[in-house]
Chains A and B, each alone.
Chain A
Amino acid sequence: GIQVEQSPPDLILQEGANSTLRCNFSDSVNNLQWFHQNPWGQLINLFYIPSGTKQNGRLSATTVATERYSLLYISSSQTTDSGVYFCAVRPPFGNEKLTFGTGTRLTIIP
């Protein structure tokens, strides 16, 4: 099956700093989503981005499908950005199963 790797596994930053999270995947996809999992376990949709670039406030994401990677940018980090960020992908065939990466744990220090 498709493999998903995220880096770095852990990231500790001062409030106000910028960060870049990376997701590499091993095969073609027709769905790539970035999620933020809050301390209560809720997976919050950040982006649906199988290709191209999107921005939403301080967050933006870019997926280069031909090179099989995606980047999530967080600017001017706030303590509420802390949590685990997951990338999940689906190949363009088969059922609707999303394969998740192992996540990046982001900690923002005041």
Chain B
Amino acid sequence: DAGVTQSPTHLIKTRGQQVTLRCSPISGHKSVSWYQQVLGQGPQFIFQYYEKEERGRGNFPDRFSARQFPNYSSELNVNALLLGDSALYLCASSLEGAGGVTGETQYFGPGTRLLVL
């Protein structure tokens, strides 16, 4: 079975540009979450989406936005890139979010490494 996939694997942008990262969840998973991991730290929660609705948002500026499509894939957009946005962006999928089911195992994709120059 295919795991969580993300594209692209690597990306180089300059300050002020915009970037779109993509994620496809495990088949059957309806919940997608995005995390940012800067060097030397643990991943930090950015967003969670379920059935195309935002279910949670971390402490990130409005330059960060996301959406989920009918096939449950998701995009993360970051506008007006700053040097500090350089990080590994991770996507996770899970079964949770449906019918009160929560706390299920989350599975992570390989990530997208973003470098902002």
Q: Using Cβ atoms and an 8 Å threshold, which residues of chain B touch A98?
A: 33, 35, 43, 45, 92, 106
The 8 A CB mask of B76-117 against A (1 = contact, 0 = none) is 000000000000101010101100001111111011010000
A103–B110 alpha-carbon span in the complex (Å): 18
Q: Which of A12-20, A42-50, A54-62, A72-80 is the interface stretch?
A: A42-50
A25 within 8 A of B: no
| Range class of the B interface residue count | 20 to 34
- Asked whether, in the complex, the Cβ of B42 is within 8 Å of the Cβ of A100, the reply is yes
Most A-side CB within 10 Å, residue of B104, B106, B113: B106
A30 touches B102 (CB 8 A): yes
Docked complex Cα distance between A99 and B56 (Å):
13
Are A101 and B42 closer than 8 Å at their CB atoms? yes
Name the prevailing secondary structure of the A interface residues.
loop
Q: Is B48 an interface residue (CB 8 A)?
A: yes
Assuming A31-B103, A103-B42, is B48 touching A96 (CB within 8 A)? yes
Kindly state whether residue A69 has any CB partner on chain B within 8 Å: no
Interface residue B24 (Cβ < 8 Å from any Cβ of A): no
Nearest residue in A to B41 (C-beta to C-beta)? A102
Q: Which residue of B lies closest to A40 (CB)?
A: B110
Contact A90-B103, Cβ < 8 Å, known A35-B108, A41-B113, A42-B108 = yes
Establish whether residues B45 and A45, one from each chain, have CB atoms under 8 Å apart when the complex forms.
no
Q: Which residue of A lies closest to B94 (CB)?
A: A96
Counting CB contacts under 8 A, is B31 at the interface? yes
A96 touches B55 (CB 8 A): yes
- A96-B31, A96-B48, A97-B48 known; A48-B110 Cβ under 8 A: no
* Inter-chain contact A33/B42, CB cutoff 8 Å: no
Residue contacts A-B, CB under 8 angstroms, 13 given: A35-B108, A41-B111, A43-B108, A50-B103, A90-B102, A92-B102, A95-B55, A96-B33, A96-B94, A96-B96, A96-B102, A99-B45, A100-B42
